[in-house]
Structure 1
Amino acid sequence: MRLINSRQAWHDAYYPNIKSTTSFGLDSLQLGIVVERPLKHHNTYQIIHQWLAGKVQHCIDVLPIPLQCFGHYLYSPIATAYDLDVAHELVWSILAKQIAQSHLNKENQQKAYWLVRAALKSYQTLVVNKKDYLKKPQKIIKFIKDNYQVELQYSDWKKVWQPLYNNMLFICNELDKQALIPISSLIKQFKETN
């Protein structure tokens, strides 16, 4: 594992089938093994990977649970539906405070709730794949209708939904920055010592 950037480190720290440093260490202690040289199935690269993964996982563990889930949804290869639900509720809780002061009626507020899912998906594909496949309003509207059976009118997009959607993406970006701070600090620390 190389510490190239925070997003890559988050992903690699949870790559499946690789035990964390803590897990390997506990297994060794329970078995009474002192590892003087790596076992055949634990080559030097794997041991370094596990050590770095443990460091990154520790950085993630210091975050509040909602931010952990938000980051897991974006970057972890083992993210779950629970991570998506918590990330959604986190973005919605911030947005709902802003919507309460706006002119949106109840029906549109319910639609906005599901529009958050499109914003999360859009943001994820943008930061992970560097390409946003939900860039056009037609694709966003289709995504919401196909996945959540919520209909948004294209004629209302620029006036009602576009500003709201842009705000959702802004919230995602701010939460992403917060979630990556501990890992960025770790990477900076490693670069300064090497």
Structure 2
Amino acid sequence: MKLISARQAWREALHESRDSVLAAAQERSRLGKKGRVVGETMPSMRDSNGRCAHMLAAGLVQSAIGTLPKPLQHFGNALYSPIANGQDINVAHALVWFTVDLEGYPAKRKEVAYWMALAAIKSHQAAVNGREAWGPGRVSEFVLGWYGAKVDTSHWARDWATIWGIIAGAVDSLDAKALKPVAAVIVKMSERRDPNRCRWELYDREHVADFRSERYAVRRHATQKALRARLDAMEVSQLRRWFRRMNLYSTAYRAEWGSDVVENPARHLIYLDRVTEYWNQRQRVGDVSRQVA
């Protein structure tokens, strides 16, 4: 799944690109198969990395959608979800209707405008998907089919253009609000400086490290005690394997943080406590005669 636009991301985050159940059944029937054979390689399992990448991107988008108020979620689903249902359409219609301000218009006009609100959603959906937006004739046909009222398009500019403009503007505004958190996800993911690193890791890691150390400080004494007890219970051969892992960990940590470990020790409490215990254990097994800072 590629994050190209907010609308595309919303649609594809709720859709998995794989054969339908009927297509899979047809393929099995063509091959004369009645089930799976033990050890058989299934086509859907070949691209596991692609599936994982799709699920990650879809999860980020779905999480962003979940931050919206429920009515806006239904509104966005009505426009972009491949599994939109009647509830999505009904809530979207009601949301548009309660958003528009048609104060001062006659009651008869408002009755027709209520169904024009649903037509505006359909028109907007067509426009954002590359089709032609609805004109007066299509709107009139829709209202006639749903409500039974005939909208005279011969004087559209005089009688209905303003109302249609108000409703269409409300749909545009709601669409922008619904897409905002999804667009933010796309912007964040598109600002990757390196294919394997995200902007979040480059610019916000100090904040995350500070927060992690603050949380660790609350349980620091108990954690130190538990680590020491676990290491004291190890045999020498087990400890030496732990020493090797600690050397690799320390090298990688120093390479990432550099002099910040010395300049801001409160930010690196977890690392420093592990290093301290490393030297304590080295001294215990006789590798060093005294603890080295």
Q: What is the aligned length?
A: 168
**Residue 277 of structure 2: aligned partner:** none
Task: Return the index of the structure with the highest Cα Rg.
Answer: 2
Q: Is the 8 A contact 1:91 1:171 kept in 2?
A: yes
1:132-143 counterparts in 2 under 5 A? 132-134=132-134, 136-143=135-142
Deviation at 1:41, TM superposition (A): 6.3
Partners of 2:74 and 2:144 lie apart in 1 by 25
Deviation at 1:150, TM superposition (A): 2.4
TM-score (norm 2): 0.54
Q: Is the 8 A contact 2:3 2:186 kept in 1?
A: yes
Partners of 2:117 and 2:16 lie apart in 1 by 28
Deviation at 1:47, TM superposition (A): 1.2
Q: Is the 8 A contact 1:73 1:80 kept in 2?
A: yes
Deviation at 1:155, TM superposition (A): 3.7
Partners of 1:49 and 1:17 lie apart in 2 by 9
Gaps of 5+ in 1: 19-38
Q: Is the 8 A contact 1:123 1:132 kept in 2?
A: no
Deviation at 1:65, TM superposition (A): 0.6
**Residue 126 of structure 1: aligned partner:** 127
Deviation at 1:17, TM superposition (A): 7.4
Give the direction of change, closer, same or farther, for the CA distance of 1:145–1:16 in structure 2 (3 Å limit): farther
Deviation at 1:73, TM superposition (A): 0.7
- Using CA pairs below 8 Å that are at least 6 residues apart, which structure has the higher relative contact order? 1
**Letter of the aligned partner of 2:127 in structure 1?**
L
Partners of 1:150 and 1:163 lie apart in 2 by 19
Q: Root-mean-square deviation (CA), in Å? A: 1.8
1:1-194 counterparts in 2 under 5 A? 1-15=1-15, 40=45, 43-95=48-100, 98-100=101-103, 102=104, 104-128=105-129, 130-134=130-134, 136-194=135-193
**Residue 29 of structure 1: aligned partner:** none
TM-score (norm 1): 0.80
Q: Is the 8 A contact 2:143 2:149 kept in 1?
A: yes
Give the direction of change, closer, same or farther, for the CA distance of 1:187–1:133 in structure 2 (3 Å limit): closer
Partners of 1:193 and 1:17 lie apart in 2 by 25
Q: Is the 8 A contact 1:114 1:150 kept in 2?
A: no
Gaps of 5+ in 2: 19-43, 194-293
Partners of 2:147 and 2:51 lie apart in 1 by 42
Deviation at 1:147, TM superposition (A): 2.9
Runs of 4 or more above 3 Å deviation: 39-42
Deviation at 1:125, TM superposition (A): 0.3
**Residue 31 of structure 1: aligned partner:** none
Deviation at 1:81, TM superposition (A): 1.2
Partners of 2:107 and 2:96 lie apart in 1 by 18
**Letter of the aligned partner of 2:177 in structure 1?**
Q
What percent of counterpart residues are identical?
33
